[in-house]
Amino acid sequence: MKKIFTGVALVLALSLILAACGAKTATPEPIARPSNPGGPGAAVDLTGDATAGAQIFVDNCVICHGDQGKGGVENAGTADGTVPPLNPIDETLKSPNYKTFATNLDLFIEHGSTPELADGATPPPARVMPNWGENGKLQPQQIADVIAYLISLNK
Give the count of beta carbons closer than 10 Å to the beta carbon of residue 114.
15
Contact between 42 and 127 under an 8 Å Cβ cutoff? The reply is no
At residue 6, what is the residue type? T
Q: Does the pLDDT at position 80 exceed 80? A: yes
Q: How does DSSP assign 12-61, residue by residue?
A: HHHHHHHHHHHPPPPPPPPPP--SS-----GGGGS---HHHHHHHHHHHT
Q: Does the pLDDT at position 4 exceed 70? A: no
What does the buried/exposed string (b/e) look like for 9-46 if buried means 16 or more CB atoms within 10 Å of the residue's CB?
Answer: eeeeeeeeeeeeeeeeeeeeeeeeebebeeebbebbeb
At residue 106, what is the residue type? D
Band of pLDDT at residue 2, cut at 50, 70 and 90: low
Strand residue runs (E) in 38-127:
none
Q: Does the pLDDT at position 16 exceed 80? A: no
Residue range 34-75, pLDDT digits in tens: 999 999 999 999 999 999 999 999 999 999 999 999 999 999
Share of the chain above pLDDT 70, in %: 83
Q: Does the pLDDT at position 7 exceed 80? A: no
CATH 1.10.760.10 applies to domain 49-155? yes
Q: Give the model's pLDDT for residue 3.
A: 52
Q: Does the pLDDT at position 9 exceed 50? A: no
Band of pLDDT at residue 25, cut at 50, 70 and 90: low
**Span 133-145, mean pLDDT?**
98
Residue range 123-132, pLDDT digits in tens: 889 999 999 9
Of 7, 16, 53, 60, the C-alpha closest to 153 is: 53
Mean pLDDT of the chain: 88
User: Bridge partners of 74?
Assistant: 82
Alpha helices (H) in 23-154, listed in sequence order: 50-60, 62-65, 98-111, 140-153
pTM metric for this prediction: 0.81
